[in-house]
Chains A and B, each alone.
Chain A
């Protein structure tokens, strides 16, 4: 889009030529168009496939099959292409960009580079989980809403040592990588969604919303030169005890748990409604957070999260059990890159505003 810099004009140098081809603004246009189509398609598809399914298929993928057989680029591939295109373009037209009339464009595109970096970081480092607490309860573990793990422990006490393996790779024949001398374990069957029907673990079709799925699996446990079948269902709250080598091992299939570097206690929860309606005005959790001897009191409500190191705790929802006790659910997000998109956004906006103001000024002057 910007005239070529004469120092990097197309020449015999094949690298420079490749950079030239990659910096083409036709690539930009095609990529923007593909992204536009993908965004539209991925929105419509949410009705059928749910948010998670559509997100995996259209946005997190490099390729997917349209209508079952036509390969179509996913948003991740398109974004990588745009990123390369952007870098090549900035590299080639640096000279032109640093002129005053185009300084806004330079800032915008540098901001976009930062944006790509921010997106990459957030996509790979952020982790979502949640804690659900009744008044007076405390915890130092947060639980994933969607991811599952297979865990075991030997002493069934409060301060037990837990060993766990992510269940995402489980399939028939998979050797569960527990490093334990007493036993080894192989996956016999694994169902991403299941239910217990007439006492039998039965697979079920997947829900659109991934949080609703309850995993279940049949495992073969090998110890003392014998094999034992173990059936675990994700909805069970109690671990299944098995005697191995004179010790009792407790096995459970549960939502993935993450230790928190602090303990949080729910002191008080309140839900406020607009007077005379059942329309929520505010939900608020008063909590105490401590790590070591230092305690901190905080209120978490809508649009007012609690920040603690790289963790942010948000008021997500609440529920009431059949005895009338209220439970508050706080979303826990660990993300050390969270300020990056904020910065990128500001830089790009500043660049755009500057560019269009300069253009308006120039056209007024020429007028």
Chain B
């Protein structure tokens, strides 16, 4: 009897619940034009939701599912906490109770829209370069809310004589509201076909990479990369407690396991965008990370004592993590401004200079490791091994930064008519070349020994940070397209920590030597 009651209860609740669409496969691959590029709707949905909330999914809903709700049933998304407002002061200024998770619902913000508009109008009178972080955040929030309401209204503003494609869209909307999976997918498929039939030959080629792009988005290869790199580091830490070979093997295996999705992810991007792997700031993180891990594996091949595994694990994790933070700005598969739109130079100059950056980062990490090993009082042989490895990697760094800087000069000569123009980005690269060359000459002149080289390699890493993002913060010159705000504080904190580390550790090492 009890069983029957439960059965009846379940039966009645399921049969009376509003049916919902669960299958979004065809909906995901509808071609849309956004950010200057034809892309699957899934990519658009993910970047939209990331732009709003900082995540590419909402709760258990995939981005596409949430976008479908926004398009076909906007009222249903009114209470979704999708608007990220980083600064609690803004929430207070708008008269909303600040939330711990910093996310707010459209319903909450709708009531404050007038207030937000007033703030935004006031801020727009301030020149863009002088706006504070909070002011930029207000503009961002305003734009997001406007975009949200535009999208939610996009199919209600339409007039009766709009294009026939809209009829297919109506079918989709109807079957979505009725919760009919099969009809919804069929309508989405018909709509996709209809869109494809009006595309040019060139655009149609892009559609062919959609399955790959969907796979790329769904598989999030770089997250897998980070995970395995972190594992490698954990195995390294564990190896201190027992010297068993198993930890070493697991560590090496983890780095390789992280490297595979890392490479595959980058390759997928190359195929999707039909251009070389590095063209935006986001991609430099991925690529420099890849080079650093590759160099780490090479080091491990020669010197089988964790050195390569640690450098690979740290640089892979940190760089992919930063890349992940960057992807919040929207779709990372971006189109390029005219001057960058050259596959030949992107493939040569940008890849070589970023390889140089990667090598400098690895040499910097090795410098840290040497300093820590010396502090720890490791034997002379271990120290010498690390020292020699650092020298070798610095050699790679010098060669690649020199070549990259000069190929940049040649590119500039080809497109701007001058080889060298003392542009901040050029200067940043030149500083890397100069500092690395300086280290080699100072070592040959016996001005510095292993300690000096390790310190120099660490300083070189600070120079790379300057060349990589620091110069963009000046917002002068021809390379200011990669500008990002809010990085300055992190850079200063990084440099300060590094300086404290260098001074502290070097002092201890020198003291230790004197005592001996």
Contact = CB atoms under 8 A, between A and B. Distances in A.
Interface of A: 1-2, 24-26, 28-29, 32-33, 35-36, 39-40, 42-44, 46-47, 51, 54-55, 59, 119, 122, 126, 128, 273-277, 279-283, 302-303, 305, 312, 314, 316, 331, 333, 338, 341-342, 345, 348-349, 352-353, 355-356, 359-360, 363-364
A333 B417 contact: yes
Nearest to A130: B417
A47 B338 CA distance: 25
Given A280-B337, A303-B341, 14 more contacts: A1-B444, A36-B438, A43-B428, A44-B474, A55-B422, A273-B36, A274-B35, A277-B36, A338-B419, A345-B409, A352-B395, A352-B402, A356-B399, A360-B395
A349 B434 contact: no
A356 B397 CA distance: 11
Interface string B429-451: 01100110110011011010000
Contacts of A312: 417
Contacts of A349: 399, 402-403, 406
B476 A47 contact: yes
A314 B339 CA distance: 12
Interface residues on B, range: 35 or more
A39 B447 contact: no
Contact of A314 (B337, B399, B417, B431): B417
Contacts of B428: 43
Contacts of A26: 445, 447
B431 A303 contact: no
A25 B422 contact: no
Contacts of B335: 274, 277, 279, 281
Nearest to B435: A36
Interface in B163-184: none
Contacts of B424: 43, 46
B474 A39 contact: no
- Chain A CB within 10 Å, residue with most, of B33, B302, B399: B399
Contacts of A28: 441, 445
A51 B476 CA distance: 8
B199 to A, nearest CB: 11
Given A29-B442, A54-B422, A281-B341, A39 B430 contact: yes
Contact of B37 (A2, A274, A282, A341): A274
A33 B438 contact: yes
B278 interface: no
A359 B441 contact: no
Closest 10 CB pairs of A and B: A274-B36, A1-B444, A345-B406, A356-B395, A25-B445, A333-B417, A32-B438, A277-B36, A280-B338, A303-B342
Interface string B454-480: 000000000000100001001011000
B396 interface: yes
5 contacts: A25-B441, A40-B427, A51-B422, A276-B34, A303-B339
B114 interface: no
B483 interface: no
B104 to A, nearest CB: 29
A349 B477 CA distance: 27
A341 B419 contact: yes
A32 B436 CA distance: 10
A363 B428 CA distance: 32
B63 interface: no
- Chain A CB within 10 Å, residue with most, of B392, B407, B430, B442: B442
B36 A305 contact: no
B337 A360 contact: no
Contacts, number: 154
Contacts of A282: 338, 341
B494 interface: no
Interface of B: 33-37, 302, 335, 337-339, 341-342, 345, 388, 392, 395-396, 398-399, 402-403, 406-407, 409-411, 413-424, 427-428, 430-431, 434-435, 437-438, 441-442, 444-445, 447, 466, 471, 474, 476-477
Contacts of B345: 303
B36 A39 contact: no
Given A39-B430, A341-B409, A303 B414 contact: yes
Contacts of B447: 26, 29
B381 to A, nearest CB: 12
A243 B345 CA distance: 57
A39 B402 contact: no
B38 to A, nearest CB: 8
Contact of B36 (A51, A279, A283): A279
Nearest to A119: B420
Contacts of B302: 364
Contacts of B416: 314, 316, 331
A36 B392 CA distance: 22
A128 B413 CA distance: 12
B437 A32 contact: yes
Nearest to A273: B36
Contacts of B399: 349, 352-353, 356
The A interface is mostly helix, strand or loop, or mixed, namely helix
Contact of B410 (A25, A32, A345): A345
A305 B422 CA distance: 22
Given A28-B445, A314-B417, A348-B402, A51 B434 contact: no
Contacts of B339: 302-303
Contacts of A342: 410, 413
A211 B285 CA distance: 36
A342 B335 CA distance: 30
Contact of B33 (A44, A276, A338): A276
Nearest to A32: B438
Contacts of B418: 126, 128, 333
Contacts of B413: 338, 341-342
Nearest to B203: A275
Contacts of B406: 341, 345, 348-349
B403 A314 contact: no
B445 A46 contact: no
A356 B392 contact: yes
Given A32-B441, A345-B409, A352-B399, A42 B422 contact: yes
Nearest to B33: A276
B441 A43 contact: no
B208 to A, nearest CB: 18
Contacts of A274: 35-37, 335
Nearest to B342: A303
A333 B414 CA distance: 11
Nearest to A277: B36
Contact of B421 (A51, A280, A348, A359): A51
A43 B341 contact: no
A329 to B, nearest CB: 12
Contacts of B342: 302-303
A275 B402 contact: no
A364 B302 CA distance: 9
Contacts of B411: 303
Nearest to B440: A1
Nearest to B416: A314
A291 to B, nearest CB: 21
A316 B339 CA distance: 10
B299 to A, nearest CB: 12
B468 to A, nearest CB: 14
A36 B441 contact: no
B338 A283 contact: yes
A316 B259 CA distance: 42
B293 to A, nearest CB: 20
Contacts of B33: 275-276
A1 B417 contact: no
Contacts of A280: 337-338
- Chain B CB within 10 Å, residue with most, of A43, A46, A282, A305: A43
B182 to A, nearest CB: 33
